[in-house]
A and B are shown apart, each in its own frame.
Chain A
Amino acid sequence: MIKMAKYLEIAEKIKRKIHGNIYKENEMLPSEKMLGNMYSVSRLTVRKALEELEEDGYINIKAGKGSFVSRFSNDIYKLNLEIDNIINCGYDEVELLSAKMIIPDINLVYHLMVKPGSRIVCINWLLIKNEQPIAFETRYMPYSNGLVIEESDLTYTNLVDMVCKKFLYYEYKESIVIKGIIPDDSLKDYLEISHYDSTAFVLIEHKVFNENGRPLGYSKLRINSKYCEIKGSCSV
């Protein structure tokens, strides 16, 4: 067996105590000196272990105060939302339906936090498998002067790549909401299903914000629920 570094060993021991609820949420851990005595190692090793724990999100180190146990849950899952991964067996081709400049409606004004009269770049794609449309994605980006949309921007990539490439932001935040919907009639036309068909669709709303919380892009991906499965595993 590979011998673990001492500080990792100690980090693991403290982790177990947090898991076992011996160190409870928001409680302060013993001081570095005390931990050092407890595991008979130097303060430096303890420090390294605590830093490791902070990186993993178990504790919160406050300078001059101490280390505090963060809120912790074992129901946190890492979901892989790569498009090839959520559509069973992937898709065959992508059809660009339209790319246009639109004036936002009330919904978009709310989601993109833009002025009601401003302009929005709106791109629609249809994902096809076995010559049947199975998913529909709409993307919105607030337009500002100087933003150039080239042909290469219309190839289908994920939203983060697209937005980061356009705005060259290096710090961004994301939010994702997963919902289940019955598509409205206009969407049914695009997806070539009859108006009487009430297949459910999975709606994945993805937003990218800059560091000040201003939305840079918003996408709505709707996938036929027959073909969609979102998988993940517990990250503990």
Chain B
Amino acid sequence: MINEKNYMTSYENIFFDIKCQIINGYLKSGDKLPSIEELCKIYNASNITIKDSIKMLKQHGYVKSIERVGNYVNEKKILQYKFEINEIDCLKQKPDRNKIIRIELVNGDMISDEIPLRIANSYYYVKIEQIHYFGELPMMYNIFWLIHSKKINVEKLNKSNWIHTILGVLNNFEIVKDLSLTVKNNLPEMESILFLPKMAPMFEITKKYYTKKNAAVGFSRHYAACDDMDIKSI
């Protein structure tokens, strides 16, 4: 009786064989694979089978094909993983309320070393500080710096409505985001804000926002204790 799990179709077999050759270094990156006709003879298989196995190799990222030229072994696979990192959704305990600490206008020149964006510094930023709470416990501290446009009158804003709009804009699909994640435990101010023990490690997530045309919109920093956050690949 054939055990279903161990049974491989012949195109899978050929895929597997070529893959092993690539992993073990018999075929190096940039090498040309034999032509489909030659592979037919080598594996004693039909045209369609070979094409199927090459399709599979392509799907798994081992091979790329150039039309009318041939199939080539890809460069080393880059270790890229997908993570869903939304500062609120990553928290183990979902916060139930948030509070805006302050909204102020800052001169870009004053904080030029803090700005991770690649733009001229002679901009004003609207700086928004916000804390998320679970009950009475502060869970996360957010700071947003948005490039100031003349239309916003910071003094006259209805804060809670406005921040809702801003977050809506930043999470729009027209915005491209860059992310950087570090662990820090040398920020005593943040420890006291978040009620953390001394030297407790916390995540610092920096997000940069650009439009699709690569114009900077702003950036944000999010702080939360490492123990409170779940960062897992999907």
Contacts and interface: CB of A to CB of B under 8 A. Distances in A.
Interface in B12-48: 12, 15-16, 19-20, 23-24
Contact of B183 (A158, A198, A202): A202
Contacts of B232: 175-178
A168 B24 CA distance: 10
B233 A175 contact: yes
A184 to B, nearest CB: 13
A174 B233 CA distance: 8
Interface residues of A, number: 44
A48 B176 CA distance: 27
B201 A181 contact: yes
Contacts of A177: 230-233
A19 B180 contact: no
A174 B81 contact: yes
Contacts of A81: 79-81
B184 A200 contact: yes
B10 interface: no
Interface in B74-91: 77-86, 89
A2 to B, nearest CB: 16
A165 B24 CA distance: 7
Nearest to B199: A198
Interface string A194-236: 0000111110000000001000000000000100111111111
Contacts of B172: 74
A180 interface: yes
A76 B85 CA distance: 6
A79 interface: yes
Contact of B173 (A164, A225, A233, A236): A236
Contact of B82 (A76, A180, A225): A76
A221 to B, nearest CB: 12
Contacts of A174: 81, 233
A82 B176 contact: no
Contact of A80 (B78, B175, B176, B230): B78
B203 interface: yes
A160 interface: yes
Contacts of B55: none
A160 B80 CA distance: 12
A161 interface: yes
Given A81-B81, A82-B78, A160-B79, A228 B20 contact: no
A77 B12 CA distance: 31
A161 B22 CA distance: 11
A235 B201 contact: no
Best-buried of A175, A180, A181 by chain B (most CB within 10 Å): A180
Interface string B174-188: 011111111111000
A180 B178 contact: no
B234 interface: yes
B183 A201 contact: yes
A179 B83 CA distance: 14
B165 to A, nearest CB: 16
A155 to B, nearest CB: 12
Contacts of B230: 177
Given A180-B203, A198-B199, A231-B179, A76 B233 contact: no
Nearest to A57: B82
A176 B232 CA distance: 6
Given A181-B201, A233-B176, A233-B179, A79 B23 contact: no
Nearest to A158: B79
Given A77-B179, A180-B202, 10 more contacts: A75-B85, A75-B177, A80-B78, A174-B81, A179-B231, A201-B201, A212-B5, A231-B178, A231-B179, A232-B180
Closest 5 CB pairs between A and B? Answer: A180-B226, A180-B201, A200-B201, A180-B183, A19-B173
